[in-house]
Structure 1
Amino acid sequence: MEQFPQRQLFGGATSTIFPLRFEDVSRIREVPDHQEVFVDPARDESLIIELLEMKNELADNGSATWFMQDLATEQGAEDNIVTEQSGVFEAQGLGYRNMPSVITTATAQIAISKGRQGRDAQNLVKVYLANLRLKGVGTDVLITAYEPFFIHPSSESARSVGAGLTVPAAESGRTPMADVFKQVVAAFRVNDWNLFGAAAL
């Protein structure tokens, strides 16, 4: 079974746990300051943690679904299907100045193209999304995990992963993405609230 070591994010201001097979993309290309991006090139799986100004107009119980729909629209994937949405739960250990933080999650199957490839090279991907709402610092933390389950033969991914249905993670000794995602979300911690300009709030 894979180890889940502590991984430092945003210069150590936040942290969580996930397997070492997920490599830091910032070592290869530039990543926006508000994002941390990790990929497992052997499986074309990826994890993205991003910090966004809180959308106060969104109700907590619909926020994860809203962000999922937004992601699907951005990808030009109109046929996204939200297969599951959680209720709203308090995020333990993430409250700030007596203001609780809450979490909601959603999952969907989306057709996504790699890079600038068109719709004729779309892969079918299961997407897991969590919205951690840090109300004390006015920040929406998005944790998004991508797990391709069908690679189009014309996709760039076919060269490294192979075309067709992907091999289940457990068959290759890796932790399934659903479990990786749960661990990333459950173990997410803020180590320095100054990351959010909290000292000024």
Structure 2
Amino acid sequence: MATTTTRELFGGAITATTPTNLIDASDLRQVPDNQEVFLFPDSSVSIILEVLQRVDAQDNDSAIRFHFDSLAHDNSADSATVEAIVVLPNTRGDKTPSAVTLSGVQTVAKFNKSDRDQVRVLMGLYRIQEKPVDLVVTFNVPVRAQDKGAVDEDGWKQAQAHFEAFVRSLRIVDFGLFA
């Protein structure tokens, strides 16, 4: 696994463990203020951390499915399948909520091409109880792609390990971010 670092996100209001070699997408293009976006330099794997309006859901399972389905809609996915939902408890004792995680697959057409890409999606959801906020981290991992950015089985396992490190280490340092 690549060397990792504790990365400050949203000006240090949030920290998380990430590979040191990630490319900050804001160095390449405009990124909305409610997002942090990172790219892996050797594949098309991306990480997006978003501060979103809290969805009206009865439980964590419904909430993370809502965000996964919204992503599928935004991607114009032909299909979207949830494979697993697991809660990773925060055992550090700070006020960061436990992460609700989802693993799924979406089939999407990229750049109006007729062939479809298969993208594995790893998603983590932190529901901020005191504020109307859902904090969502998404790893998009192409496993079949028209370009050369798809990852093989080893790349998929590495992405899973990076995702696990990210969601387990994510710490909200300043809840004022969600004012």
TM-score normalised over the length of structure 2: 0.88
1:178 alignment counterpart? 160
What pairs with 1:1-201 in structure 2 (closer than 5 Å)?
1-86=1-86, 88=87, 90-92=89-91, 93-95=93-95, 101-114=97-110, 117-152=111-146, 157-158=147-148, 161=149, 166-169=151-154, 176-197=158-179
CA positional deviation for 1:175: 6.6
Consecutive aligned runs of 4 or more in structure 1 exceeding 3 Å deviation: 88-94, 165-170
Deviation by residue 1:64-99 (Cα, 9 ceiling, x = unmatched)? 12211111122111311111122x454344527xxx
Deviation by residue 1:136-161 (Cα, 9 ceiling, x = unmatched)? 22310101001111112xxxx33xx3
**Identity over the aligned pairs, expressed in percent?**
24
Distance across 1 between alignment mates of 2:94 and 2:32: 24
For the 8 Å contact 1:63–1:104, the answer to whether it is kept is: no
Distance across 2 between alignment mates of 1:35 and 1:135: 20
Secondary structure in 1 aligned to 2:79?
coil
TM-score normalised over the length of structure 1: 0.79
For the 8 Å contact 2:122–2:140, the answer to whether it is kept is: yes
In the alignment of these two chains, the number of paired residues is 178
Cα gap change, 1:80 to 1:175, in 2 (>3 Å): closer
Distance across 1 between alignment mates of 2:54 and 2:157: 32
For the 8 Å contact 2:53–2:132, the answer to whether it is kept is: yes
For the 8 Å contact 1:124–1:148, the answer to whether it is kept is: yes
Secondary structure in 1 aligned to 2:70?
helix
For the 8 Å contact 1:51–1:140, the answer to whether it is kept is: yes
CA positional deviation for 1:24: 0.4
Cα gap change, 1:56 to 1:147, in 2 (>3 Å): same
Deviation by residue 1:7-45 (Cα, 9 ceiling, x = unmatched)? 110011111011023210001111000000000142110
Distance across 2 between alignment mates of 1:123 and 1:130: 22
- Give the alignment's Cα RMSD to 1 decimal: 2.2
Question: Unaligned 5+ residue runs, structure 1?
Answer: none
CA positional deviation for 1:134: 1.3
- Greater CA drift, 64-73 or 180-189: 64-73
CA positional deviation for 1:61: 2.6
